[in-house]
Amino acid sequence: MKKVHYTMIEGTSLGFWSLLAILGAFIAAGLASSYYMEHHGHIVTGMTNQIVWGTPHVFAVFLIVAASGALNVASIASVFGRKLYKPLGRLSALLALTLLTGGLAILVLDLGRPDRLIVAMTYYNFKSIFAWNMILYNGFFVIVGAYLWTMMEHRMNRFTKAAGMAAFIWRLTLTTGTGSIFGFLVARQAYDAAIMAPMFIIMSFSFGLAIYLLVLMFAYRWTERPLGDAVVYRLKNLLGVFVASVLYFTLAYHLTNLYVTEHHGVEGFILLGNNGGEIYSKFFWIGQIIAGSLIPLALFYMPVFGKSRFFIGVGALLVVIGGLCQMFVIIVGGQAYPMSLFPGMEVSSSFGDGKVADYSASLPEVMLGLSGIAIALAATAFAIKVLPFLATSLADEVADPHYQANDAATGAEASA
Amino acid sequence: MSLNRREFLGAGAAAVAGTAIAPGIRLIELASARSPEDAVSMQQRWGLLIDSSKCAENCSACVSACHEENGVTDEGSPTTDAQWIRKVTVKNPTSGYSHSLPLMCQHCESPPCADVCPTGASFRRADGIVLVDKHICIGCRYCMMACPYKARSFIHETITDQKADAPRGKGTVESCTLCVHKVDRGDGTTACAEACNKEGHSAILFGDLNDANSEIARRLKTEASQQLRADLNLNTGVRYQGF
Amino acid sequence: MTHTNLFLRIRSWLVMLIATVMLQATAGIVYGDGHGNSRVPMPSTETAKGEKCVEPEDVMKRKHMEFILHQRDKTMHEGIRTKQYSLKNCVNCHADPQTQSVLGKDGFCESCHAYAAVSIDCFSCHTDSPEEQDAAVSGTVFGSIFDSNITK
């Protein structure tokens, strides 16, 4: 194995600036949407007093969850000592930071009073999991920042393992915290499940790695840096395992819910589309299960596709899209189903009691959500231009610890 | 801190009234009235007792009175308009029996909204009234996600012509305040209860659950009543009976 | 209603920071020489009702925000509803008899704040006009007897 060098990308091409310009346009549109929403009030969104969290939260929670998952690659190297992942660590920590930034930006810009951000940072209710999350998110920036420093500064390298361990524990806590945001909502049947928190952790593994793989493949292809099969196949196989695990947890979640008669209503709503839940059952079956899990699994593991960079990329992209669908089902679907105030009774009122709530996303909401992704990507692109995050080469002879000439591809497959 | 003259006299007047006025509920209410400079205390636990058998299905006097008192206006969009109180019709699908009741913030002893609020803007006052401190509400709406009664509203639009006693503004969350300004003034009732009495139904009774002599405490002790979503163990300050 | 937006507020926040520093500096001078004049000239304001403010004027100029913000928390969380520093009370006295408001170009609160580049969001929720006469203590017999003496 050769020594790994890291260099900045040149970032002077027309293409690079166009990329930043396009992302910048999305960010500008998101900021404009947020201003529009604050100026007119949330009346201009699809959100209501029934569906209080909508599309912005779908994107925000997705990005926050993915952020902690993106750190996995670095953790595998420094915590579990896998050599192949070591040259991948810097980008992993960077993505963790930028994805979190994107997610939090959406959350803040969606607040009813974004101008009171200072209040959110000075008044804490320590009973609130939300307040704890704010501390966890801030701590995540500090710890991952320090971790990055130990990776990038030669003299600090000896602390990398310790920092990596701290970051790893912190990120598990952070994702548990994010999952608990929903787990704590005892009143809503869809969220009243202990399995929510571990499910979020495994979701973070999957979404984070999918984004990591996409960014890695895109960056190396565009900058024409060598990226060997060893790295790509290893990451893709790992992603496959995560996707399958999310599928397993989803199954367990719905099965345990079906076990409780009280939850049959909400299950029928999401799984079968009963009582006007068609949109959610479509997002669930077509988006999350078929497009987001089964097709990617097939693409990753079927030999015809599994060796093609193109299909691996498509698979990872589908995981991302499936993840967004899953968030939509959890967040919006969970609210649309009426809360049971009088069990066994038929209720009606001027406030939609006993009725499934309607929701249709408005353009500003979608733009705000997309701008979060744009923020994350633009920050990443900018960072790899100004600091050496990317290894100059990830060709097999550089990256693969088991590399033997002539034997690269098979060796990588076998060890994956 | 010294009492200023008006407040001193005010407190004295209440004490005098408490002993001078003929005995009855009025006396008790005045005796427990606080003077303006005293903080609320846990000695009181304000609440409502709602008798759904007395509640007329087509009457919504309580809703109009509440919204009039607190300046909650109808913008013609039920999904985004604030609804501090609403009439719910509950029908038993097997027997067909149907009755109605007003539903508002249940003023829980352990309010889920306050537990989840990141800034502490949602809180329970010592005397049991659950409020939003709109000065530190950031509009995240987590409380609305947590409330089992859907009792909270987010203000979706710019509001004008607010009542002096009920400031309200875009981007914050609000809910029934148990007419806290009236309670603090010593009115001893809420707008909804007043309106219901005026309609002749008397389905809503306001009072101090902690005061053994109050009508509400006496009735809760001697008559059957229940909490909504009692399974959640929230110990609500609003109780129901008649179904 | 004050129209405030994010960017304006951030800007005014910075300005307020500077204003605070300046006021702090002038406060030192004020305390030092015992004169009630601050170095920052203020626009002239007029109040129709009542003879005196709830604290001496120079104290009010410097500290009115502390008083009301403190009162705000006391009222919200402890149900303390004394009149002296209540925002309702400020408005009852200081609203312009013509416009019935403390806002507007010549409104008591807004004119000075505009001059000092302070932007407050209070009146997006709180009413800017006085309560009805019977509710407002000032002006009634009781009010004039008791409320004009509430300075401590």
> Of A197-206, B26-35, B46-55, B109-118, which range is least confident?
B26-35
Per-residue pLDDT tens digits for A149-208: 999 988 888 899 999 999 999 988 888 888 787 777 777 877 877 788 889 889 999 999
Which residue pairs from A377-381 have beta carbons closer than 8 angstroms and sit at least 24 positions apart in sequence? A377/A23, A377/A98, A377/A102, A377/A215, A378/A20, A378/A23, A378/A24, A378/A27, A379/A97, A379/A98, A379/A101, A379/A102, A380/A94, A380/A95, A380/A98, A380/A215, A381/A11, A381/A16, A381/A19, A381/A20, A381/A23
Contact with chain B for residue C20, Cβ under 8 A: no
Per-residue pLDDT tens digits for B14-28: 443 434 444 444 444
Q: What is the spatial distance between Cα C9 and Cα A115, in angstroms, rounded to a whole number?
A: 7
- Residue C110: the pLDDT is 92
Question: What average pLDDT does this structure show over B126-150?
Answer: 95
Q: What is the spatial distance between Cα A123 and Cα A118, in angstroms, rounded to a whole number?
A: 9
Gap from B162 CA to chain C (nearest CA, Å): 6
- Cβ proximity of A253 and A199 under 8 Å: yes
Q: Which chains touch C (3 or more CB pairs under 8 A)?
A: A, B
Give the CA diameter of chain A: 74
Q: pLDDT-based confidence at A396, cuts 50/70/90?
A: confident
Q: pLDDT-based confidence at B31, cuts 50/70/90?
A: very low
Q: What is the spatial distance between Cα A96 and Cα A74, in angstroms, rounded to a whole number?
A: 10
Which residues of A fall below an 8 Å CB-CB distance to C? 35, 38-39, 114-115
Per-residue pLDDT tens digits for C97-127: 888 899 988 889 999 999 999 999 999 999 9
Looking at every residue in chain A, the average pLDDT score rounds to 90
- Residue A53: the pLDDT is 95
- Residue C46: the pLDDT is 57
- Residue C104: the pLDDT is 87
Q: Which residue has the higher pLDDT, C136 or B141?
A: B141
Q: Which chains touch A (3 or more CB pairs under 8 A)?
A: B, C
Question: What average pLDDT does this structure show over B93-111?
Answer: 95
For tokens 């089902």, what's the residue?
A329
Domain boundaries, chain C: 1-33, 57-136
The verdict on domain B32-241 having CATH code 3.30.70.20 is yes
Per-residue pLDDT tens digits for B149-187: 999 999 999 998 899 999 999 999 999 999 999 999 999
- Residue A83: the pLDDT is 86
Q: Which of C4, C6, C77 is the mutation pick for testing A, counting most A CBs within 10 A?
A: C6
Structure tokens belonging to residue A61: 């929670």
- Residue A212: the pLDDT is 97
Q: pLDDT-based confidence at B193, cuts 50/70/90?
A: very high
For the beta carbon of residue C3, count every other beta carbon within 10 angstroms. Answer: 10
- Cβ proximity of B163 and B67 under 8 Å: no
Global pTM value = 0.86
CB contact under 8 A, C146 and B133: no
Is the pLDDT reported for residue A414 higher than 50? no
CB pairs under 8 A between A and C: 11
Is the pLDDT reported for residue A408 higher than 70? no
Number of structural domains found in chain A: 1
A298 within some domain: yes
Complex confidence, ipTM? 0.86
Contact with chain A for residue B159, Cβ under 8 A: no
Q: What is the spatial distance between Cα A73 and Cα A91, in angstroms, rounded to a whole number?
A: 9
A412 within some domain: no
Gap from A111 CA to chain C (nearest CA, Å): 12
Domain housing A29: 23-388
> Of A289-298, B56-65, B71-80, B207-216, which range is least confident?
B71-80
Per-residue pLDDT tens digits for A27-63: 999 999 999 999 999 999 999 999 999 999 999 999 9
Q: What is the spatial distance between Cα A324 and Cα A313, in angstroms, rounded to a whole number?
A: 17
Per-residue pLDDT tens digits for A314-339: 999 999 999 999 999 999 999 999 88
A415 within some domain: no
Gap from C5 CA to chain A (nearest CA, Å): 7
B131 three-state secondary structure: strand
**Chain centroid offset of residue A387 CA:** 24
Tell me, what DSSP letter sits at residue C124?
Answer: G
Contact with chain A for residue B114, Cβ under 8 A: yes
Contacts of C89 (CB under 8 A, 6+ apart): C54, C83, C137, C138
CA–CA distance from C41 to each of B225, C37, C48 (Å)?
65, 8, 22
Chain B neighbors of A106, CB-CB under 8 A: none
Q: Which residue has the higher pLDDT, C39 or C12?
A: C12
Q: Which helix (H) or strand (E) holds A346?
A: strand A346-349
Percent of chain C with pLDDT over 70: 53
Q: What is the spatial distance between Cα C103 and Cα B134, in angstroms, rounded to a whole number?
A: 21
User: Closest residue of C to A35, CA-based?
Assistant: C6
A402 within some domain: no
Question: Which residue type does C69 have?
Answer: L
User: Closest residue of C to B39, CA-based?
Assistant: C78
- Residue A1: the pLDDT is 54
Structure tokens belonging to residue A318: 């589908």
- Within 204-243 of B, beta carbons closer than 8 Å to A belong to 228-229, 232
Beta strands in C1-152 (DSSP E): none
Question: What average pLDDT does this structure show over B18-42?
Answer: 60
Domain boundaries, chain B: 32-241
CA–CA distance from A42 to each of A62, A329, A412, B73 (Å)?
21, 21, 52, 17
A13 within some domain: no
Chain B neighbors of A184, CB-CB under 8 A: 115-116, 146
Q: CA quadruple B214, B215, B218, B221: dihedral positive or negative?
A: negative
Per-residue pLDDT tens digits for C55-93: 998 999 999 999 999 999 999 999 999 989 999 999 999
Gap from B18 CA to chain A (nearest CA, Å): 40
Contacts of A131 (CB under 8 A, 6+ apart): A124, A125, B118, B119
Chain C neighbors of B7, CB-CB under 8 A: 82
Contacts of A200 (CB under 8 A, 6+ apart): A65, A175, A176, A178, A179
Helices (H), A111-195: 117-122, 129-152, 160-183
User: Closest residue of B to A106, CA-based?
Assistant: B140
